[in-house]
Chain A
Amino acid sequence: MKRLLIVSTVLLAIACAAVAEDIKIEDLKTPPSPAFVLMGIAPSAVERPTTPRALGASLLSALNDSSNSSAPKNFALDVAPYWLRSHPKLSYKQYNQPGFGQALMQSLSISLAAKQQTAATATAPATTLGGVGVRASWLLGKPSEIEDQIRVAIEEAAVSEALKGGAATSGPLTAAPLISNPVNTKLIDAFRSARYEGRWFIEGAAASTALFTGNDAEQSTHQKSGFWLTSSYRMNRTSFDTTTKTVTSQPNIDLVGVLRWISDHTGTVRTEPLDIGVRVVWSTAELEISAEHVERRKSSNNSARTAAVGEFKLSDTVSLTATFGKNFKDENPNGNLLAIFGVHFGVGSKPVVDTSK
């Protein structure tokens, strides 16, 4: 039944993909809630720092979930409060090279996550893991020469469009049509990617989870808390011809590292494992493939997680993620096979919730 649901979701999303060609996977996804990392169901344990949209939602289904239900039982909702309203005084330069305080405000996201841990049986009530997470990031360094060149090209395209309108004639003003053309879209895609090239992107995250028995808010026990630092570096891969205004983009290659401290209360004795991990990410507009390895130390059961992660954009609002590999020994009582299938719904690009009011 679970497979049937997954296949149905894939077919539905592929149908949507027929009309979705101009949104990159990078634009679409909000990374899973930090709480998902502590729950052991995040597609990757070494998530690349990102820039969250105002709202994001995730559904994830781990194939080794103990429940027999067909529906995904893992949900997360992310909110980036800063982007819920307009910021008319925020120039691109302030946005792109923020001070620490501004970086914190514009990248802060708060998320809530829930995972059904066990289904109800004749003798035991259902248990649910709930979690809360926060994260914020800081893009360091100066923009690359390529980014500056593409920015100038976009500004020139804007001026060219503005000049087309000419002086306003008498009578009530009418709004000019919105502009959407593939040339500008390609420039913007390249610009967004080039923005990270040759720069360090640092993210801090924290999360805490609790186990609720019988879905009763009064019956909760603290499970895990943790905080971590992630850093990534994108290699320079884009080139731009200033004469012809054409971009030559190669697939992105990102190098990511994480240092994570966890306070684990799930065993009889509290442990405080330290995770040190690395990840290499290769990505195009529609596809992202990565490999990661995380060593867990200072725990009673030192182990490692090694995984391959694939993500595929199906439509402007839906991406699929799949993770296979070996998990930490103590992460899941049902075994250390890592098999996670996820569907991500990005509600930021075409908001389901109107954030303009």
Chain B
Amino acid sequence: MSEVINDRVLERNYAVGSGAGPVLLSVIIGDGQIGGSAVFIDANQKAKGQITHQDVGAPAALQGHHMTVRTVVFDINEQTNKTSVTYLLTGGAGDAEYTLWFEAPQDKMGVPYTALFTFV
């Protein structure tokens, strides 16, 4: 499953299934920009920084919980004000890929993105 959305917020369900493997999250910052993320499971901070294949928990333990991913992208690319964030979720019932993108109205701005996943 893959979606590309021109927005800064995303709410989706992610089916964790009944597998044993952990659910992994990667956050890819695109358009040659740089930034960082913070990941929360319900109200608890799970990870921060550059998120690559981050183990967010076992499918059975995640079911019914929420994961918030907040990412701030700074427009450091002098060739474009476009920013984008791609969320990759694997280890559940299937893989999911969601891309949010947004063009900063001014050069050098910080662009916050928020994604809320509900594990079902």
**Which residues from chain A sit less than 8 Å from chain B, CB to CB?**
22-23, 26-27, 51-54, 80, 83, 85-92, 94-96, 106, 151, 154-159, 161-163, 165-168, 172-180, 184-185, 188-189, 191-192, 316, 348-351, 355-356
Given A86-B82, A86-B84, A184-B108, A175–B9 Cβ distance below 8 Å?
yes
Given A167-B68, A173-B11, A158–B35 Cβ distance below 8 Å?
yes
A57 to chain B, nearest CB (A): 16
| A356 with B49: CB separation less than 8 A | no
The residue from B36, B72, B86, B103 contacting A179, defined by CB atoms under 8 A apart: B72
| B110 with A158: CB separation less than 8 A | yes
Q: Cβ of B37: which chain A residues have Cβ within 8 Å of it?
A: 158-159, 162
The residue from B48, B105, B107, B111 contacting A163, defined by CB atoms under 8 A apart: B48
Given A162-B71, A178-B112, A54–B80 Cβ distance below 8 Å?
yes
Q: What is the 8 Å Cβ interface bit string for chain B, positions 37-73, against chain A (1 contact, 0 not)? A: 1101011110011100000000000000010101111
- Give the number of A-B contacts (CB < 8 Å): 183
Interface size of B as a range: 35 or more
| A88 with B74: CB separation less than 8 A | no
- Chain B binding surface, main DSSP class: strand
The residue from B49, B85, B104, B112 contacting A177, defined by CB atoms under 8 A apart: B112
Tell me if B93 is interfacial: C-beta within 8 Å of chain A: no
| B109 with A162: CB separation less than 8 A | no
B116 to chain A, nearest CB (A): 5
| B32 with A90: CB separation less than 8 A | yes
The residue from B8, B35, B71 contacting A175, defined by CB atoms under 8 A apart: B8
Cβ-closest chain A residue relative to B107: A349
Beyond A158-B35, A161-B112, list 12 extra A-B contacts (CB 8 Å).
A87-B32, A88-B30, A88-B85, A91-B30, A92-B29, A159-B38, A167-B43, A167-B44, A179-B109, A179-B110, A350-B105, A351-B81
Given A90-B32, A158-B74, A180-B109, A173–B116 Cβ distance below 8 Å?
yes
| A356 with B68: CB separation less than 8 A | no
| B34 with A174: CB separation less than 8 A | no
Q: Cβ of B82: which chain A residues have Cβ within 8 Å of it?
A: 83, 85-87, 356
Cβ-closest chain A residue relative to B37: A162
Cβ-closest chain A residue relative to B84: A88
What is the CA–CA distance of A191 and B6 in the complex, to the nearest angstrom?
A: 27
| A91 with B32: CB separation less than 8 A | yes
B109 to chain A, nearest CB (A): 5
Cβ-closest chain B residue relative to A186: B108
| A86 with B68: CB separation less than 8 A | no
B46 to chain A, nearest CB (A): 10
Given A92-B33, A178-B105, A159–B66 Cβ distance below 8 Å?
no
Cβ-closest chain B residue relative to A157: B74
Q: Cβ of A22: which chain B residues have Cβ within 8 Å of it?
A: 107-108
A52 to chain B, nearest CB (A): 7
Interface centre among B9, B42, B66, B112 (most CB of A within 10 A): B112
Q: Cβ of A106: which chain B residues have Cβ within 8 Å of it?
A: 32, 79
**Which residues from chain B sit less than 8 Å from chain A, CB to CB?**
4, 6-11, 28-38, 40, 42-45, 48-50, 66, 68, 70-82, 84-86, 99, 101, 103-112, 114, 116
A-B contact pairs, 14 of them (CB 8 A): A51-B78, A51-B79, A80-B79, A88-B84, A91-B32, A92-B76, A155-B36, A167-B43, A168-B116, A178-B104, A179-B111, A180-B109, A184-B108, A185-B108
What is the CA–CA distance of A53 and B77 in the complex, to the nearest angstrom?
A: 10
B89 to chain A, nearest CB (A): 16
| A154 with B34: CB separation less than 8 A | yes
What is the CA–CA distance of A238 and B32 in the complex, to the nearest angstrom?
A: 22
The residue from B8, B36, B99, B105 contacting A162, defined by CB atoms under 8 A apart: B36
Q: Cβ of A351: which chain B residues have Cβ within 8 Å of it?
A: 81
The residue from B29, B33, B79, B86 contacting A83, defined by CB atoms under 8 A apart: B79
Q: Cβ of A191: which chain B residues have Cβ within 8 Å of it?
A: 76
Q: Cβ of B49: which chain A residues have Cβ within 8 Å of it?
A: 155, 159
What is the CA–CA distance of A155 and B10 in the complex, to the nearest angstrom?
A: 22
| B40 with A166: CB separation less than 8 A | yes
| A87 with B111: CB separation less than 8 A | no
What is the CA–CA distance of A166 and B39 in the complex, to the nearest angstrom?
A: 9
B49 to chain A, nearest CB (A): 6
Q: Cβ of A161: which chain B residues have Cβ within 8 Å of it?
A: 72, 110, 112
| B74 with A95: CB separation less than 8 A | no
Q: Cβ of A90: which chain B residues have Cβ within 8 Å of it?
A: 30-32
